[in-house]
Structure 1
C-alpha cells in the first residue's frame, strides 16, 4: 500500500510539472526578457544636486565638515574609546545618528567629508552607502575626499572616488578636467577638484563665484628611503591648484577655503602659538614637505584650511596668515577619548548686508555629540 501511494504521488507531480512547462512554453520570449530587465537590470539614474551652489538670500553659506567617520559594518562595528556605560549599545549607528542630528541642527548648504570615511570593512561599497546615508537622505549637496584608511578594504582609491562621485547629490569629482581639450588633467591622486559658490539669485553676482573651495587628495602611506611615512600633496597637485586659483581670480578676487586629510608639517608649530580649541595629540604628518604652505600663501586667496586625521585635535591656529583647523573626530568606530565628545566643525561665510557683492566674514564653530549638541569655540577666521 505504501509503495502504491508513493507511485501515485510521483505520477501526480509529473502531471503538474507537465502543465507548468506547457504553459510557459507558449509565452513569448520577450516576456522573460522584459521581466528580467525590469526586475534586475534597470539602470539607476543619479539624483543630482542643483548647481551651481549659491549663497542664500540672506547672504550666508554654511558648510558642515565631517572628519574621520571610520565607518565599518554598521551594528557589528563596536565603538572605541567611550565610557563603560556607553559601550554596550554603541556602534557605527551612533555615528549615523550623530551625523543625522547635525544635519538637522545646522541645516548646511554643503557637507564636506574630509577623509577616512570608512575603515575595517568587508565590503567598501556597502560601507560607503551606509556612511553617507544621512546626507543622501537629506538631499543636501555633498563632497568628499579620501584619507589614509579608506582604501584598506575591497576597493582602491580610484574606484572609491569613482563610486563617491556617482552617488546621489554628490558633487565630488575623481579629478579635474582641462577646459580645452576636455580631458582629465594629469595629476597625482584621486579626488582633486574645486567647487564654486555663486552669488544669490537676484543679486549682481548671480553668475560670479564668490567663494571657492579646493579639495585635495593628501594620499595614504608611502615609503621614503626605506621608511614608511604618511602621504603628501604632490607637486602636480600644487601646480593645478595654483593655475586654478589664477583662473578664478578675475575682476573679483574671491576668498577660498581648502580641504585635505593629512596635515602639513608646519601645523606642529602651532603647539607654541595661540590657538582656539584643543591640541591633544602629536601632529601625524608626512616626512616629506613639498611646499604646500608656500603655495597657499603665494596664491593669496586661501583664508583657511580644514583637515582631519588627528581625531583628538580640534583647534584652529594661524600660520602665515592662513588658518589651519582640525575637524575633530566624528566616528565612534574611530579612536577617540572616553568622555570627550565626538564633534563636527561648521564654517559660515557671510556677504555684506547691503550690496552682497563681497564676502565680508568667515566664521567657524564646533558642535558636540552631547545631550544639547553644544556649540563651542566660535571664532572669526577672516574679515574683509
Structure 2
C-alpha cells in the first residue's frame, strides 16, 4: 500500500513537471512567431527620450531563456529581428525611455547610435558603450545634451537592404544589426520630437488640368523581393530584384508624367513575402513624398496577409506625409471607404472632382455558393449613395462641370461581359465576384463617369456596355499590374500604370497607359472617354 502511494506520488510529480516544462516551451515558442499584436510599434509620446538600448535573444531549446525584460523598465519593440525565420531562436530590441521632466541628474541620454564590430570612439575622447548585436551607444547626462532636436527620442526596426523611413525626423541606419539572420534588421532612429504631418489639399492646376496616376498591384516585400516572370525573360530570375525594379518604374513615371495625384488601387504589399508590412509601405511612400505628390490608398486581398491588418496599415498611412488615406466610417463594412474632394483652381473652395474610394475586401465569405472573391456590401453601397446625394448641392456650386470618379480593387461582375465594347488587353479571365451587390447600377445612378480597378494584373482594358439605343453611362477600367513581385506571365506581359488626364475647362477625360519595358515613351491605348461631363464612346 505504501509503495503504491509513493509510486502514485512520483507519477503525479512527474506529470506536474511535464506540464510546467510544456508551458515553458510553449511560452518560448510563442515569442518566436512573427509579431502580430497591436502594440508592435514604439509609442511616440511627446517628451520621451531614450536612455538605453539592448537586444535580447532567446531559444526554444532553453526553457530558461526569454526575450522579455522587466516591462516597468524596458519597452519591447514587437518585431522579431529574425522575422520568424529562426525556428529555435528569436531576438527583440528593447529600449529604456523617460519623460524629460522625470530625468534624474544621474540619468544618461542616448545622443548617438551606430552599428559595427569596432568601437567608433577608438582614438577619440568619446566613450561609446557596447550593446548586443553590434550596437554602440553614445550617452551623456542631461546637462550636456546641447540641442534637444539632436537627442534620440524613438527607435523602430525595419528590414532589408532597401529599407527606407519616410516619416519626418526619422533616419534608417546604413549598417544592419549584427545577427545571424538574412533579414537584415536595421534600426531607424528619430531625433527630436514628432513633427505634425499636414494633410495636403488636392486642387485643379491654374491651367484647369488635373492628372491622376493609378498604380495597382505593386506586391512589395520585406527586403528586395524576387521577380516573377520579368520581361524581358532572364536566364536567372534570382538576379532580378522585384522591389527596386518596381519602384524605379514608378519613380520614372512620376518624373516624366508629373501627376497631380496618385491612387494606389490595392495589393501594395505582398502578404506572403512581407512579414513586416511597415517596411514595404515605407518604400512606396518615400517615392511619393520625394515628388511631393498627394496619394490615396485602397486595399486589395493581399495587403493584410502579412503582420498587419487593414486598420493597423491605415493607421500607418495616416501618419505619413502627402497621404490622403482614411479608414472611413466605422459602421460601414471594410477599411478605406472614403471620399477625396479635388478643389477648383486658385483659391476656390468648391469641389471640381470627387473621387470615391471603396474597400472591396478579400475572399468570398460564402465559398460554397459564391466561390472566389468578396463583393461590396449593402451598407457600403448605401453609404456611397447617401454620400453622393448629400454632396450634390455643394457640387452644383462649382463654376464649371463637376465630375465623379471611383476606384476599387476587385472588379465588378459587369467587367466580365465579353459582349461589351472594350479597348486594351483582356488576357486573363476577370476574377470579379459571383455575387452582384448592385454597385455598378448605383454608380450610374449617382453620375459616376469612370470606375477603375486593379487585381487582375494582365487585364488593362477600359470597357463600355453596348447599347446603341442609349447614351453610354459608365466606363469600367483596369489599371494593369505594376509590380514585379506579383504574377505577370501570359506571353510577355509588361508591367504598366494608367493615367487619367482631366481637363476641367471642357470637362474632358483622356486615359492612357505607360509601359515599364519596350515602348516606354509612348502612351498606349490613349482615348477620350468623357467630354462635356458626359461619357462618350472611345475616340
TM (normalized to structure 2)? 0.60
Query: How big is the shift at 1:50?
Result: 2.9
- The 3 A distance-change label for structure 1 pair 126 and 344 is same
Match of 2:223 in 1: 74
In 2, Cα distance between equivalents of 1:170 and 1:288: 32
Which of 242, 258, 263 matches 1:112?
263
2:504 to 351, 369, 380: 351
Counterpart-to-counterpart distance in 2, 1:43 and 1:329: 39
| Cα separation, 1, equivalents of 2:108 and 2:257 | 50
Report which structure shows greater RCO (CA 8 Å, sep ≥6).
Answer: 1
Kindly provide the CA deviation profile for residues 88-144 of structure 1, in whole angstroms up to 9, marking residues without a partner as x.
Answer: 234211001000000001101101100000012120111111133211221111100
Question: Whose helix fraction is larger, Structure 1's or Structure 2's?
Answer: 1
The equivalent of 1:298 in structure 2 is 445
- Structure 2 match to 1:333: 485
Equivalent residue number for residue 334 of structure 2 = 189
Whether 2:92 is the aligned partner of 1:92: answer no
Is structure 2 residue 213 aligned with structure 1 residue 64?
A: yes
Among 236, 243, 262, the residue aligned to 2:386: 243
Change (3 A) 1:225 1:329: closer
Tell me by how many angstroms 1:339 deviates.
Answer: 2.7
Please tell me whether residue 50 in structure 1 is matched to residue 215 in structure 2: no
Q: Map 1:131-146; keep pairs closer than 5 Å.
A: 131-146=284-299
1:179 corresponds to: none
User: Residues of 1 paired with 2:504 and 2:364: CA distance?
Assistant: 42
1:218 to 353, 357, 360: 360
8 Å contact from structure 1 (residues 136, 168) kept in 2: yes
Which residue is equivalent to 1:40?
153
Q: Secondary structure at the match of 2:423?
A: coil
The 2-side partners of 1:98 and 1:86 are apart by 21
Matches within 5 A, 1:270-289: 271-289=418-436
Partner of 2:510: 363
Q: How does 1:7-18 map to 2 (within 5 A)?
A: none
When the two structures are superposed, what TM-score results if normalisation uses the length of structure 1?
0.83
State the distance in 1 between where 2:438 and 2:419 align. Answer: 21
Counterpart CA distance in 2 for 1:194 and 1:212 is: 7
Contact 1:74 1:91 in 2 (8 A): no
The answer as to 2:262 corresponding to 1:262 is no
CA contact (8 A) 1:347 1:365 kept: yes
CA RMSD of aligned residues (A): 2.1
Query: Residues 40 and 234 of structure 1: is their aligned pair in 2 closer, same or farther, counting only changes over 3 Å?
Result: same
| Unaligned residue ranges in structure 1 (runs of 5+) | 1-26, 176-183, 353-358
Listed as ranges, the gaps of 5+ residues in structure 2 are 1-103, 110-140, 155-191, 466-471, 533-539
Deviation at 1:73, TM superposition (A): 2.5
d(CA) in 2 for partners of 1:43, 1:317: 50
Against the structure 1 CA distance between its residues 28 and 90, is the aligned structure 2 distance closer, same or farther, given a 3 Å change threshold?
A: closer
